[in-house]
Amino acid sequence: MTEALFHLVWAERLFRSELLRTTEGDPLRIERSGLLHQGDGPDFRNAAIKMESLHIEGDIELHLRCRDWTHHRHHLDPSYDNVILHVVLFPEHAAPVRRHDGTWCPTLVLYPHVSANLPELLRTSAFRGKLACAGQLPRVPDSVIEAQFIDAERRYFDRKMHDLLAFADGAADRSAAWMRMLRKGAMDVLGIRFNREAMRTLHDRIERAGRVYATADEAQLHVAQLAFEGAEAPRWDSSGSRPDNQPRVRVAQAGRMWFNTQGAEPDTFPFAALTAGLRLGAERQGVLYRNVWLPAAYLRAHALGDGAGQRAALLAWHARDRVNPAAVAGPFLEAGFPADTARRSSGAAWQLREHCRARRCADCGIMRTLIRS
């Protein structure tokens, strides 16, 4: 991840480009940073530099330290013979490097030319126990943090709709498809954290059984039989689950939810009817509302040509009136993020998973601001 940040610094020239010199003292000007190359070979292609009066075009390779050139065995790889500049961050033992063809490639040390806090950012980003921007947020305007989380909210909503649409596959018509994705999505949420796959499997077993239940008790009894009896019963994981999250508790809720939805009119079905009698905790009810109901409501409104319904679903998604689970909010609070954003933004889970935990900080507006500061 640290090299990804370093690539960002180079690609966007987030360094002082005046008075650059190679390790040998030769004046250097960057005329074209090049295009980031994601495959094997040098990091940037089609770059251009000027040394003295000589214009040179070719590839550029970046490393945090000069020794990485030989550690990565580039000196034995002919695909690096077109590298015209070796760029490193730290100055230790920096010197020209030998190419496979025996010629020497100049090295540029960027440390004197970058923001003073970049080395610290690179170090913290390599530490897996906390967010890379921890302790640095006072230097980031609130507007930048807010913009990043609003973008995360939009992306997360799109992903949730995509996931729900996958649950609709195989339904006979639009109404059946909507109810199927609602039920299966809701059962997926009941399976958080260790039994999501088991809940999806149980959904399909109930559907195949095709039984119409006369009472909620009948539904819960039959669903429990499908969940725990027979060779095709799903495998359940009870380890580490609180009493109210044990499989038998969640299966009983799934049975009641199935009863609530059978025979319902999809175009007018309300959230309160979905959760009636389930006795969900506030946190799980919030996850169900945000992650399943609102995307489903948006998709239903879209299918009906109901623009007001779509806008209402989006406004509710962006409204910070539900509390995020501690596992989502905790890392942001520890890192110093605004409490309301950490605890209530619907995009916090996306930000944590897709950027922070994945160490994709180079794609985050917060980290870009820190690097520039």
How far, in Å, are 195, 228, 236 from residue 224 at the CA level?
Answer: 15, 6, 12
Cβ atoms of 303 and 295 closer than 8 Å: no
Percent of the chain with pLDDT over 70: 96
Burial letters for 286-298: b for 16+ Cβ neighbours within 10 Å, e otherwise? bbbbbbbbbbbbb
β-bridge partners, 285: none
pLDDT score at 28: 95
pLDDT score at 300: 96
Q: Grade residue 318 by pLDDT with cuts at 50, 70 and 90.
A: very high
Interstrand relation of 83-88 and 107-109 (parallel, antiparallel or unpaired): parallel
Q: What is the mean pLDDT of the segment spanning 301-315?
A: 96
Is the pLDDT reported for residue 29 higher than 70?
A: yes
Percent of the chain with pLDDT over 90: 75
pLDDT score at 193: 87
Q: What is the mean pLDDT of the segment spanning 303-307?
A: 96
pLDDT score at 122: 67
Is the pLDDT reported for residue 142 higher than 60?
A: yes
Q: Grade residue 149 by pLDDT with cuts at 50, 70 and 90.
A: very high
Contacts of residue 128, defined as CB under 8 A and 6 or more positions apart, other chains included, come to none
Burial letters for 173-201: b for 16+ Cβ neighbours within 10 Å, e otherwise? eebebbbbbbbbbbbbbbbbeebeebbbb
**Residue ranges of E strands in the chain:** 20-21, 27-32, 35-36, 44-51, 54-63, 83-88, 97-98, 104-105, 107-109
Global pTM?
Answer: 0.75
> Which pair of tokens denotes residue 328?
């989502």
pLDDT score at 1: 47
Main-chain phi, psi angles of 158, to 5 degrees = -60, -40
Phi-psi label, residue 29: left if phi above 0, alpha if psi -120 to 50, beta otherwise: beta
Q: Identify the CA nearest to 56 among candidates 38, 41, 74, 34.
A: 34
How far, in Å, are 271, 298, 317, 357 from residue 353 at the CA level?
Answer: 27, 24, 18, 5
Q: Is the bond leading into 193 cis (omega within 30 degrees of zero)? A: yes
Q: What is the pLDDT of residues 162-219, one digit of tens each?
A: 999 999 977 778 899 999 999 999 999 999 989 999 999 999 999 999 999 999 999 9
Q: What is the mean pLDDT of the segment spanning 284-298?
A: 95
The average confidence (pLDDT) of the chain is: 92
- DSSP class of residue 74 equals G
Give the integer Cα–Cα distance in Å for 253 and 320: 27
Give the integer Cα–Cα distance in Å for 286 and 292: 10
Give the integer Cα–Cα distance in Å for 276 and 255: 12
Q: What is the pLDDT of residues 75-88, one digit of tens each?
A: 999 999 999 999 99
Give the integer Cα–Cα distance in Å for 360 and 341: 20
Interstrand relation of 20-21 and 27-32 (parallel, antiparallel or unpaired): antiparallel
